[in-house]
A = this chain, B = another copy of it.
Amino acid sequence: MKSIPVLLMGCGGVGRDLLQHILTCRSLHAQQGLALRVVGVCDAKSLIAVSDDDLLIAQLTDPFLKEICRFKASSPSAPLSDLKTFDECVIYTTESAEKVVEIASNLGRSTGLVVVDCTASAETIGILTRVVDLDTIPHIQSFTSFALDSYLVGAGLPVITSLNRILASGDYVRCMIGSLSGTLGYVMSEVADGKPFSAVVKEAKSLGYTEPDPRDDLSGMDVARKVESLYPDKMGPGKMSLEDFLGSGLPLLDEDVEERIKAASLRGNVLRYVCIITDSSCGVGIQEVPKDSALGRSKGSDNVLEIYSRCYNKLPLVIQGAGAGNDTTAAGVLADIIDLQDLFSS
């Protein structure tokens, strides 16, 4: 049986579902000769981990992991340190980041360790760069699927795996164009059906598709840095309240969006809010795409990625599916962990 130590940062929506999936898959993984050994779980304020003496063999037990999931589902804003029952484990409420680095460094020198970041925090970047000890990178890189490129794009969609396959076969990627924000995908396909922009944004908000302030989605910042915002600067979060934006700001944008849709339609195109990457450029914004392309025909909140390469030159390789959802995203993270199994010895 091959044992893979795992330390999980973040037990909100995705992290919690990841723990659930790990529990559900116990027997499946055992059949494959694998056991995921969860040595620690942390949230923003605390870390629960096995004691230093037991680091090489112990794990947080399954009933305790279940209890963590239950607790975080019912009291999302309470820290793990408020848990009533505890395992044979240690709880760190200060210096938890230091402790994560220490555990990673200890296990990194012996069994190896998968550190999973399921937070939405920029703070963990500092932890991650310290965790990935420069000594281990050459070792990691000698394997096909290695930690550093095994991250997630489009929730659980097999984007990175598929790109790796294309590159490994010597095919040459010319361009990628994708709608990787479920929210903006929904908005753009609904306005194409003739509904006013303002009504669609409010609808998306009431369906729970948007962030509490929908401008967080409309600014495009969720997708990349070089972006075209769907609202002008003067309606930005610092300058206009959320109520004013929803009430009087948003409807002012309807006419402009409608005109752009009509102009595109004359050219047989529809508008989509996409991310485009070519050899020489990368951008995010509204783009006309052919009405009958996979992107043009996409509906609802699905993510769509089109990859054009030497092999897929006229018609792209298309990968499409739910690009959000804790369950799906967590399943993708688990698949990434399992992909790393060859790095660990039995």
Contacts and interface: CB of A to CB of B under 8 A. Distances in A.
A169 B161 CA distance: 14
Given A144-B339, A318-B321, A165 B170 contact: no
A168 B300 contact: no
A116 interface: no
A73 interface: no
Interface string A15-49: 00000010011001000010000000000000000
A144 B341 contact: yes
A165 B320 contact: no
A157 to B, nearest CB: 7
B170 A334 contact: yes
A254 interface: no
Contacts of A129: none
Interface string A310-346: 1110011111111001011001111100110110000
Report the copy number of this chain in the oligomer: 2
A319 B161 CA distance: 13
Interface in A143-196: 143-145, 156-158, 161-162, 165-166, 168-171
Contacts of A319: 158, 317-320
A117 interface: no
B342 A144 contact: yes
Interface of A: 21, 24-25, 28, 33, 142-145, 156-158, 161-162, 165-166, 168-171, 292, 294, 297, 299-300, 302, 310-312, 315-322, 325, 327-328, 331-335, 338-339, 341-342
